[in-house]
Structure 1
Amino acid sequence: MRAYEAAYEAGNTNEIQSLFYEPKPLEQFFDTGPDPWQVDSLVEQPASKARVKSLSKELDRWMVETRDVGLIPELDWAIPSASSMMPLPYFLSGERWIDGGK
């Protein structure tokens, strides 16, 4: 692993190899038939926008239904610790300070 990291830091990796070390976007969307290695995200493609929005909404619904705490941004975990409210109800209450309660 260190050899790969050193190659990246030295600028000796190609665009695809570099993806492993760079920050990932919030959402990614792949067609794993023609892109089995999930290299080319379709999230910004106009033809994918409606499907991405639908899947994102469904994922949010499912995460709330199953009480998946991965839905809660890490910074929001600190806010309810100062109150009596648990993190998930606090997050769902709309009182989140990070985005003005939206």
Structure 2
Amino acid sequence: MTRHDALIRVIEALHAEIAALKTNDVAALERATREKLIGIEAVGAANDDDPALSGELRALAEEAHRLNESCRIYVNLMAANVRRRLTALTGNDLPSYRPGLAGGYG
């Protein structure tokens, strides 16, 4: 598999990850993440250093990076929503656990 093909695979998997995140489809998210990781390994394993493709490869890599950042932001927003809902449900406004700050044994 060429780097170009592997990057296309990563981009397609990232689109699938975003769709799965939006619909809360855990099975689809697992599939998309597995495909993304396989694609990333293929990018690293490819050794087709054709300089003619370097500009196109850079553009594909930038697109993959942008999509990955979108996934990261979406996951962080979902985590914040869960945290906020749990706080509202429990009525517990205690700060999050932070190791080493709550006192120690001694």
TM (norm. structure 1) is: 0.31
Higher relative contact order (CA 8 A, sep 6+): 2
TM (norm. structure 2) is: 0.30
Q: Whose helix fraction is larger, Structure 1's or Structure 2's?
A: 2
